[in-house]
Structure 1
Amino acid sequence: MMYKKVPLPFLLIVVLITAHSSTYSQKKNASFQLNIRKTHLPIVIDGKGDDLAWQDTDVAKDFYMVLPMDTGMANETSEIRMTYDDDNLYLLATFYHSKKADYFVESLRRDFSFGKNDNFLLFMDPFNNQTTGFSFGANAYGAQWDGTMYDGGKVDLNWDSKWISETTRDEEKWVFEMAVPFKSIRYEAGVSEWGINFSRLDLKSSEKSSWTPIPRQFPTASLAYTGTLVWDTPPPKPKLNFSVIPYVLGEISRNTANAEDADFKAKVGGDFKFSLTPSLNLDATVNPDFSQVEVDRQVTNLDRFELFFPERRQFFLENADLFANFGYETIRPFFSRRIGLGVPIQAGLRISGNLNKKWRIGLMDMQTASVDETGLPSQNFGVVSLQRKMFSRSSLGLLLVNKQSTRYIEENDSIYARYNRNLGVEYNLASSDNLWNGKAFLLKSFAPDKENSGITQAAHLEYKSRKWNWRLQEEWVSEDYSAEVGYVPRNGYVNISSFAGHLFFPKSGKIVSHGPKLNTSYFFNEKFVRTDNTSFLQYLIEFRNRSSLEFFVSDDYVELLNPFDPTRLGIASLAAGTKHQWNAFGWEYASKPQSLFTYIFQGRVGGYYADGRLTSLSSELGYRFQPYVSLSANLNYNYIDLPAPWNTNEFWLIGSEVDITFTNKLFFANLFQYNEQTRNFNLNSRLQWRYAPASDLFLVYTNNQMIDPFMPKDWSLTLKFTYWFNK
Structure 2
Amino acid sequence: MKKRGSIAFFFALTSILFVELVAQNKLNLQEIYQLSIGRTTERIKIDGSLDEEVWKTSAVATDFWVSFPMDGIRASPELKTLVRLTYDDEFIYVAAECIGPGPYIIQSLKRDNPLFWRGDAFGLVFDPVNERSNGFVFAVNPEAVQSESLITGQTGRRGNSGSVSGINGAWDNKWYSEVQILEDRWTVEIAIPFKSLRFGDKLEWGVNFLRGDAKNNSYHTWSPVPVQFRGVDLGYTGKLIWDKAPGKTKKNISAIPYLLGLGKKNFETNALFDQVQRVGLDAKVAVTSSLNLDLTINPDFSQVDVDEQQTNLTTVNLRFPERRLFFLENSDIFSDFGIPPMRPFFSRKIGLDEDGNTIPILYGARLSGNLNKNLRMSLMNSQTKSEELPGNNYTSFAVRQRVFERSIIKGYFHNRKRMTNTTVLHDDYNSVGGLEFGYRSQNGKWQGSGGYGIAFTEDDNDQNHFYSASTGFDGKAFNFYANVSGVGDGYQNDFGFIPRKNHYDAIDDTTYIIGFDHVYSRIGYTFYPDNNSINQHGIRLSFVGDWTATSNELIAKTFDLRYNFSFVNSSTLLLTYKHEDVNLLYPFGFTEDNAPLPSGMYNFNYGEIKYQSDNRRIVNIRSGFRYGGFYNGTRLETSIAANYRAQPWGNFSVNFIYNDLRFPGIYGHQPLFLLGPKAEISFSRNLFWTTFFQYNTQRDNFNINSRIQWRYLPMSDLFIVYSDNYMVENFGPRNRTLVLKLNYWLNI
TM-score (norm 2): 0.93
CA distance in structure 2 between the partners assigned to 1:21 and 1:497 by the alignment: 24
Does the aligned pair in 1 maintain the 2:142–2:186 contact within 8 Å? yes
Corresponding residue for residue 445 of structure 2? 435
Does the aligned pair in 1 maintain the 2:542–2:561 contact within 8 Å? yes
CA distance in structure 1 between the partners assigned to 2:461 and 2:646 by the alignment: 62
1:267-309 deviation per Cα after TM superposition (whole angstroms, max 9, x unaligned): 0011111111110000111111001001000000111011111
CA distance in structure 1 between the partners assigned to 2:302 and 2:537 by the alignment: 45
Corresponding residue for residue 295 of structure 1? 306
CA distance in structure 2 between the partners assigned to 1:293 and 1:425 by the alignment: 33
CA distance in structure 1 between the partners assigned to 2:29 and 2:19 by the alignment: 17
Corresponding residue for residue 473 of structure 2? 463
Whether 1:165 and 2:188 are equivalent positions in the alignment is no
TM-score (norm 1): 0.95
Corresponding residue for residue 29 of structure 2? 28
Corresponding residue for residue 511 of structure 2? none
CA distance in structure 2 between the partners assigned to 1:327 and 1:662 by the alignment: 43
Does the aligned pair in 2 maintain the 1:28–1:433 contact within 8 Å? no
Report the CA distance between 1:575 and its aligned residue: 2.5
Structure 2: runs of 5 or more not aligned? 156-165, 353-357, 502-514
Equivalent residue letter for 1:257: E
Corresponding residue for residue 3 of structure 1? 2
Whether 1:655 and 2:671 are equivalent positions in the alignment is no
Report the CA distance between 1:493 and its aligned residue: 1.6
1:11-70 deviation per Cα after TM superposition (whole angstroms, max 9, x unaligned): 221222244345646533431011111111111001111122211111111110111111
1:446-497 deviation per Cα after TM superposition (whole angstroms, max 9, x unaligned): 1112432510101111111110111111112212111112111223222222
Whether 1:90 and 2:93 are equivalent positions in the alignment is yes
Counterpart among 504, 508, 511 of residue 527 in structure 2: 504
Equivalent residue letter for 1:298: Q
Corresponding residue for residue 204 of structure 2? 193
Corresponding residue SS for 2:215: coil
Structure 1: runs of 5 or more not aligned? none
Deviates more, 1:358-367 or 1:685-694: 685-694
CA distance in structure 1 between the partners assigned to 2:555 and 2:308 by the alignment: 31
After superposition, the Cα gap between the structure-2 partners of 1:649 and 1:285, relative to the gap in structure 1 and judged at 3 Å, is same
Equivalent residue letter for 2:335: A
Report the CA distance between 1:633 and its aligned residue: 1.5
Does the aligned pair in 2 maintain the 1:251–1:717 contact within 8 Å? yes
Report the CA distance between 1:407 and its aligned residue: 4.0
Counterpart among 195, 199, 214 of residue 203 in structure 1: 214
After superposition, the Cα gap between the structure-2 partners of 1:357 and 1:291, relative to the gap in structure 1 and judged at 3 Å, is same
Does the aligned pair in 1 maintain the 2:595–2:668 contact within 8 Å? no
Equivalent residue letter for 1:442: Y
- The alignment's C-alpha RMSD in Å is 1.8
Whether 1:382 and 2:381 are equivalent positions in the alignment is no
Corresponding residue SS for 1:54: helix
Whether 1:277 and 2:276 are equivalent positions in the alignment is no
Corresponding residue for residue 639 of structure 1? 660
Whether 1:588 and 2:610 are equivalent positions in the alignment is yes
1:235-257 deviation per Cα after TM superposition (whole angstroms, max 9, x unaligned): 23322211111001111111122
1:145-184 deviation per Cα after TM superposition (whole angstroms, max 9, x unaligned): 1122121443211111111111121331111111011111
Corresponding residue SS for 1:204: helix
Whether 1:347 and 2:357 are equivalent positions in the alignment is no
CA distance in structure 2 between the partners assigned to 1:246 and 1:563 by the alignment: 50
CA distance in structure 1 between the partners assigned to 2:619 and 2:103 by the alignment: 15
CA distance in structure 2 between the partners assigned to 1:516 and 1:29 by the alignment: 34
User: Which residues in structure 2 correspond to 1:324-343 (within 5 Å)?
Assistant: 324-341=335-352, 342-343=358-359
Counterpart among 124, 127, 137 of residue 125 in structure 1: 127
Does the aligned pair in 1 maintain the 2:5–2:468 contact within 8 Å? no
Corresponding residue SS for 1:291: coil
Report the CA distance between 1:681 and its aligned residue: 0.6
1:351-406 deviation per Cα after TM superposition (whole angstroms, max 9, x unaligned): 0111110000000000111123xxx2121000000100010000011000100112
Does the aligned pair in 1 maintain the 2:96–2:187 contact within 8 Å? yes
Does the aligned pair in 1 maintain the 2:63–2:75 contact within 8 Å? yes
Whether 1:547 and 2:571 are equivalent positions in the alignment is yes
Equivalent residue letter for 2:243: D
Does the aligned pair in 1 maintain the 2:463–2:489 contact within 8 Å? no
Report the CA distance between 1:71 and its aligned residue: 2.6
CA distance in structure 1 between the partners assigned to 2:385 and 2:574 by the alignment: 49
Does the aligned pair in 1 maintain the 2:463–2:488 contact within 8 Å? no
| Count of residue pairs brought into register by the alignment | 714
CA distance in structure 1 between the partners assigned to 2:641 and 2:37 by the alignment: 45
1:303-330 deviation per Cα after TM superposition (whole angstroms, max 9, x unaligned): 1011111111111100001112211232
User: Which residues in structure 2 correspond to 1:297-336 (within 5 Å)?
Assistant: 297-336=308-347
Corresponding residue SS for 1:663: coil
User: Which residues in structure 2 correspond to 1:203-242 (within 5 Å)?
Assistant: 203-242=214-253
Report the CA distance between 1:6 and its aligned residue: 5.2
Whether 1:183 and 2:195 are equivalent positions in the alignment is yes
Does the aligned pair in 2 maintain the 1:22–1:391 contact within 8 Å? no
Corresponding residue for residue 697 of structure 1? 718
Corresponding residue for residue 426 of structure 1? 436
CA distance in structure 1 between the partners assigned to 2:420 and 2:107 by the alignment: 51
Report the CA distance between 1:525 and its aligned residue: 2.1
Corresponding residue for residue 615 of structure 1? 636
Corresponding residue for residue 14 of structure 1? 13
Equivalent residue letter for 2:395: G
User: Which residues in structure 2 correspond to 1:39-50 (within 5 Å)?
Assistant: 39-50=40-51
